[in-house]
């Protein structure tokens, strides 16, 4: 269909359309004639009427406005904010159905983008034992004026209690949904958030105003570990020291589970904390997480997998794929704070970790000292510039490479050096099966896929981790 004809479909209603599947981006797929339509909150098997909201060059985007038949794979969402918050878009799908489509996302990427043909061992996806309250870190935003529902807007009555402490509405940097209960982090996370909000309102401590760029309170970050201990980081607009002290003391005294309190001052236009310096206010300087007797210290800005229990399962799979005997030199690329490097060190002769962020490398070294491991070496810098023939000459060519890159995957120069290393095995851990498959296709002249396993780290979302074992041809 031509683009001009597509434009005529804007706001039109297409009736009795069957939802055919789920796309990698988490949206449901429907087809009408020769057109693909993407919609939110559809389930395969639904028969619906769709109103077209956007016309794109290659597809249409729509909104379900009526159900004629509901899919058997549907389930009732458990969160009152479902459909507005945007954080857990698959709550309407049974967990078994979620896992099915996450598995399909990984295998489709491997086969279609990676151009990998069988035989390889496809291990069934590992689901998460916890599908609620599984996260160990959440960030909330203060706003002086909350997102209003259509009913509130159309009601015409004066609305009070406009302050919000919650999540940004998808696509709107200045619109914040006030959250009553979030099902992502264990209690007392909700209790802490609601207590801080109530204290601030009672004591006239201003929430941030995105229009005027004023207001003391900007964000809170809540972290926790498996022991049930919490860390809270309060992000504030600079100034108003007396109010800052009052709310920080309130947090310290009111929530015994919060064993560590920090704050940061942010007077910038944006909410990024990457360049902000945490100020320790009370309690310990870090949380400690444990895996198989290994300890990992987590500071206010430390990276740590946000589903702790499932991260342990993910790392076990990576270690199992590596099949270490104690004789291997292992390179851990994109090592972060050295979690995987520490985790496999006792089964390897030596582990070399490389990471872009200097602060993360500092934490990695601290973790290895904490765990009394003396066979780890860490280097900081751009991976494409660090992983060179000279680096491998200095540290030795790896027998095994474990790589866990960001969503964008690996730079072509890094892939070239991996091939040049002639490592016998590569264990590729990825949070983006599409870029993982792209990189695997580049490696395919020298390496063959042997095993693939998907791991669900984030139930009720479209996100999935993929672990692939490649062996040298």
Q: Using an 8 Å Cβ cutoff, are 470 and 447 in contact?
A: yes
DSSP-derived 3-state class of residue 297: strand
Q: Give the Cα separation of 93 and 22 in Å (integer).
A: 11
DSSP-derived 3-state class of residue 459: coil
Beta-bridge mates of residue 222: 138, 232
Q: Which of 444, 445, 451, 447 is nearest to 466 (CA)?
A: 451
DSSP 148: P
**Cα distances (Å, whole numbers) of residue 40 to 136, 178, 402, 465:** 27, 22, 36, 22
Q: Is 182 a catalytic residue?
A: no
DSSP 209: B
What sign has the CA pseudo-torsion 453, 458, 460, 462?
negative
Q: Tell me the CB-side half-sphere exposure of residue 233, using CA atoms within 13 A.
A: 24
Q: DSSP readout, 36-91? A: EEEESS--TT-EEEEEEEEE-SS-EEEEEEEEEE--TTB-----TTTTTS-S-TTT
DSSP-derived 3-state class of residue 153: helix
DSSP 421: H
Strands (E), 206-318: 217-224, 230-236, 258-265, 279-283, 287-291, 294-298
Q: Using an 8 Å Cβ cutoff, are 215 and 142 in contact?
A: yes
> How far is C-alpha 194 from the geometric centre of its chain's CA atoms?
24
Q: Give the Cα separation of 197 and 140 in Å (integer).
A: 11
Q: Give the Cα separation of 298 and 174 in Å (integer).
A: 30
Q: Using an 8 Å Cβ cutoff, are 304 and 339 in contact?
A: yes
Residue of 79, 85, 182, 431 marked active site: 431
Q: Which of 316, 386, 279, 307 is nearest to 133 (CA)?
A: 307
The verdict on whether omega for the bond into residue 188 sits within 30 degrees of 0, i.e. cis, is yes
Q: Which of 359, 220, 219, 221 is nearest to 297 (CA)?
A: 359
State the catalytic residues.
431
């Amino acid at each position: 269909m031509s683009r001009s004809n597509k434009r005529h479909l804007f706001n039109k209603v297409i009736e009795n359309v069957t939802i055919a599947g789920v796309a990698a981006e988490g949206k449901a797929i429907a087809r009408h004639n020769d057109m693909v339509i993407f919609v939110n909150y559809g389930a395969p098997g639904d028969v619906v009427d769709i109103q077209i909201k956007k016309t794109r060059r290659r597809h249409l985007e729509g909104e379900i406005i009526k159900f004629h038949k509901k899919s058997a794979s549907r389930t009732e969402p458990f969160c009152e904010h479902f459909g507005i918050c945007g954080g857990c878009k698959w709550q309407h799908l049974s967990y078994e159905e979620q896992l099915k489509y996450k598995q399909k996302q990984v295998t489709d990427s491997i086969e279609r983008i990676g151009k990998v043909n069988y035989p390889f061992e496809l291990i069934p996806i590992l689901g998460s034992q916890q599908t609620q309250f599984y996260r160990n870190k959440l960030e909330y935003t203060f706003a002086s004026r909350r997102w209003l529902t259509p009913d509130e807007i159309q009601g015409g009555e004066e609305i009070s209690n406009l302050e919000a402490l919650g999540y940004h509405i998808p696509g709107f940097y200045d619109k914040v949904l006030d959250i009553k209960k979030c099902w992502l982090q264990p209690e007392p996370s909700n209790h802490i958030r609601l207590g801080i909000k109530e204290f601030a309102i009672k004591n006239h401590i201003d929430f941030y105003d995105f229009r005027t760029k004023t207001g003391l309170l900007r964000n809170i970050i809540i972290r926790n570990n498996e022991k049930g201990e919490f860390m809270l980081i309060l992000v504030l607009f600079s100034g108003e020291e007396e109010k800052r002290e009052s709310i920080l003391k309130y947090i310290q005294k009111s929530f015994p589970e919060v064993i560590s309190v920090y704050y940061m001052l942010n007077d910038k236009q944006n909410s990024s904390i990457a360049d902000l310096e945490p100020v320790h206010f009370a309690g310990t300087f870090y949380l400690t997480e444990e895996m198989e007797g290994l300890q990992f210290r987590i500071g206010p800005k430390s990276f740590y997998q946000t589903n702790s229990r499932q991260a342990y399962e993910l790392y076990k799979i990576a270690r199992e794929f590596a099949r270490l005997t104690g004789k291997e030199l292992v390179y851990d690329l994109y090592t972060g704070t050295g979690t995987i490097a520490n985790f496999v060190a006792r089964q390897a002769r030596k582990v070399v970790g490389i990471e872009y962020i200097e602060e993360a490398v500092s934490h990695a070294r601290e973790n290895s000292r904490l765990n009394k491991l003396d066979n780890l070496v860490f280097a900081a810098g751009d991976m494409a510039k660090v992983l060179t023939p000279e680096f491998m000459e200095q540290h030795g060519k790896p027998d095994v490479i474990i790589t866990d890159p960001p969503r964008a995957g690996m730079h072509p120069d890094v892939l070239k050096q991996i091939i040049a290393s002639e490592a016998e095995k590569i264990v590729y851990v990825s949070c983006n099966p599409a870029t993982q498959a792209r990189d695997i296709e580049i490696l395919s002249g020298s390496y063959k896929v042997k095993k693939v396993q998907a791991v669900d780290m984030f139930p009720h979302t479209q996100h999935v981790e993929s672990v692939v074992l490649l062996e040298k041809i």
